[in-house]
Amino acid sequence: MFVIGTAGHVDHGKSTLVKALTDIDPDRLPEEKEREMTVDLGFAWMTLPSGREVSIVDVPGHERFIKNMLAGVGAIDLALLIVAADESVMPQTLEHLAILDLLRIRRGLVVVTKADLVDDELVQLVMAEVEDALVDTSFAGCRMIAVSAYTGQGLDELKGAIDGILDDTETRRDLGRPRLPIDRSFTVSGFGTVVTGTLIDGAMAVGQQVELSPSGVSARIRGLQSHKSRMDASAPGVRLALNLSGISRDDVMRGEVLTNPGWLQASRRVDARLRMVRGAPHALKHNEGVTFHLFTSETTGRVRLLDADRLPPGAEGWVQILLDDPVPMVKGDFFVLRSSEDTLGGGQVADPSPRRRHRRFAADVLERLTTLDAGADEDVIITLADQLGPCSVRTLSQRSNLSEAEVLERLAELTAQGETVALGELGASADAVVYSRRGWDIVRNQAQVALQTYHNQYPLRRGAPPQELRSRLKLPQAVYVRAAARLGDEGVVLDDGGLVKTPEHRVELSDGQQAAAAKYLRALADEPWSPPTDWPIDAELLNYLQDRGDVVKVNETVVFTTAAYQDMAAQVVKHLEANASVTVADARTIFGTSRKYVLPLLEYLDQQRITRRVGDERVLR
């Protein structure tokens, strides 16, 4: 299904034409009927000669309601530019045309209305004037049809022309992540909250859990209708009315987007290629305040010019727009910028959520934005992986505006070519983590530097705890596990008994350290059950001896030789086997030593799950 939108100057007969085509009056508000002027969006539908059913969005033509017009034309497939034969091209004709051109709506028809009020010669003159206005726009060369909503002149020809254009119009892609920019919300007695909008990017079905962005409010689809007909599910490109449960009418505003939970993040910052309209009233200055319109959303913000000091009418440039309110968007969305009174320009989103403010006139920034905007899919994926890595296939899909299947296909090729590195199986998209080659090389280098720094700091340790390396790499645990496996496969990191180290790392004692260790061990062995606790040994050397298996450190002060500890543990177990329990006093008697040593020993045996404390006694586990 396709959506058609009207455009044109006030009182040029847009709503009258829609009613003549569909037998539905799109002016639904009492104010509109009283004033005989469209104020807000109107909706209708019709069946074309081919049997194809289409939706129609009728927009207001008065300059005071331009924001309502903008809310209606962002998701249309074909535009009808309406020009009255008795007035020809007027100011809002040109502004609406400029907006359609900025939104890159490339399929359209010019409909010259009120043809019954003038002669054929004047109709031809009006068409010539319109043709001049269309030069250098996306509507240049489009077909023009003269009609009369009152006599029916040209209506059948118009329907046939619409059919012909839609024959060559691609339906919207199903990217698996539906978006429905909301243009109306209201309450129906007995049903509750109802919202309407045009479904883009994916499908929706009754029973589906959905979420509003940016508010984050959750709901469930209780019912679906299109053109007052109930349906269980809908493909993209359809105007829908959705009955939502679990949500109040007060929770919903025009400009919010209904979608699957969890994926569509609203942003206050957007990178884009901006094109000024030729008739803009002034050049755009750096940091100038504007109104930002995207689909049905509207907010204020400021424009940072990245490659110019000013953008005159008709010029193009890279910009970063800082928004006052968060707006949900994806790469490839079109937007319009206005001042308080005029349309200034518009463009296409290159990066919907840049991580930082960019430096102006920075060549690397401009190069990256150019790739995101116009590069091949493979180049876009590499650029995003470089910018966002480590990232999931789902994130790459969302940020590139490609389906997950398309991203997986291209990643398989890029990984085979060595342009990207995949951690995990690409076929299982939820598990794969992706780096660009450059990004992975950085991780490799960081791991080597981090471990070498650790070895320099602690030369007597076999290696670093894995969590130490993870912390230094600043990776989430799930990503670290995959990265560590890859680093191991590449020989960058070795596992040594649960510790990680560089392949070159060896623990070697200096002559002085060897002498100090030997002297300490002799002191412990001289009094095996009452060893010295104040011996001046370096903590790292002591840890080395413990790691090597020479000593057992039962607490911060008491250290036994391994042989002494094993002997004491065996005697405690023997006593328990014969007597069922042991006390601190019993242990003092067995070893002829003080509480200072036997209490830490017994507590350590508890920790090792050899014994278990019951009151003041220990029993075997």
pLDDT per residue over 129-150, tens digit each? Answer: 999 999 999 999 999 999 999 9
Is the pLDDT at 595 greater than 80, yes or no?
yes
pLDDT in tens, 488-540: 999 999 999 899 999 999 999 999 999 999 999 999 999 999 999 999 999 99
Instruction: Say how many domains are in the chain.
Output: 5
Handedness of CA 13, 14, 17, 23 (dihedral sign): negative
Together in a domain, 82 and 154: yes
**Is residue 372 a part of any domain in this protein?**
no
What string of DSSP letters covers 447-459? HHHHHHHHHHH-T
In a domain, 384, yes or no: no
- 3-state helix, strand, coil split of the chain in percent (to 5) is 35, 30, 35
Averaged over 149-173, what is the pLDDT? Answer: 94
The answer to whether residue 408 scores a pLDDT higher than 60 is yes
Of all residues in the chain, the percent with pLDDT exceeding 70 is: 100
Q: Are 74 and 119 within one domain?
A: yes
Query: What tens digit of pLDDT does each residue of 248-277 get?
Result: 888 898 999 999 998 898 999 999 999 999
pLDDT in tens, 286-302: 999 999 999 999 999 99
Sole residue written with tokens 């080597």: 448
What CATH number does the domain containing 287 carry? 2.40.30.10
CB atoms within 10 A of CB 532: 14
Q: Of 35-39, 220-224, 336-340, 514-518, where does mean pLDDT reach its minimum?
A: 35-39
If asked whether residues 273 and 245 sit together in one domain, one would say no
Residues 494 and 525 in one domain: no
391 belongs to a structural domain: no
Q: In whole numbers, what is the pLDDT of the chain averaged over residues?
A: 93
pTM score, two decimals? 0.82
Reply yes or no on whether the pLDDT at 429 is more than 50.
Answer: no
Q: Is residue 8 part of a domain?
A: yes
Q: Both 241 and 324 in a single domain?
A: no
Residues 523 and 605 in one domain: yes
Q: Is 430 a residue whose pLDDT tops 60?
A: no
- Same structural domain, 36 and 123: yes
The answer to the question of residue 314 being in a domain is yes
Residue 416, number of CB atoms within 10 A of its CB: 9
Flag whether pLDDT at 428 surpasses 70: no
Q: Establish if 390 belongs to a structural domain.
A: no
Q: Is the domain of 74 the same as that of 154?
A: yes
Number of Cβ within a 10 Å radius of residue 452: 14
Of 259, 288, 318, which residue sits at a domain end? 259
Distance of CA 371 to the CA centre of its chain: 18
Q: Which residues pair with 346 in a beta bridge?
A: 275, 336
Is residue 174 domain-resident?
no
**CATH at residue 427:** 1.10.10.10
Give me the CATH number covering residue 43. Answer: 3.40.50.300
425 or 377, greater pLDDT? 377
Indicate whether 285 and 248 sit together in one domain: no
Are 85 and 115 contacting, i.e. CB atoms less than 8 angstroms apart?
yes
Of 146, 167, 188, the one marking the end of a domain is 167
Q: Where are the beta strands (DSSP E) in 201-286?
A: 204-205, 209-213, 218-226, 229-231, 233-234, 239-245, 257-259, 266-276, 284-285
User: Does residue 427 register a pLDDT over 80?
Assistant: no
Q: Quick one: pLDDT band at residue 468, thresholds 50, 70, 90?
A: very high
User: Exposure string (b/e) for 354-376, b if CB count within 10 Å is 16 or more?
Assistant: beeebebeeeebbebbebbbeee
Does residue 376 belong to any structural domain of this protein? no
Same domain for 25 and 156, yes or no, is yes
Residues 73 and 109 in one domain: yes
> Domain boundary residue among 259, 294, 317?
259
Residues 153, 82 share a domain: yes
Range with lowest mean pLDDT among 25-29, 156-160, 194-198, 342-346:
25-29
Q: What is the pLDDT of residue 65?
A: 84
- Give the range of the structural domain holding residue 148, as residue numbers without chain letter: 2-167
pLDDT digits (tens, 9 = 90+) for 199-247: 998 899 999 999 999 999 999 999 999 999 999 999 999 999 999 998 9
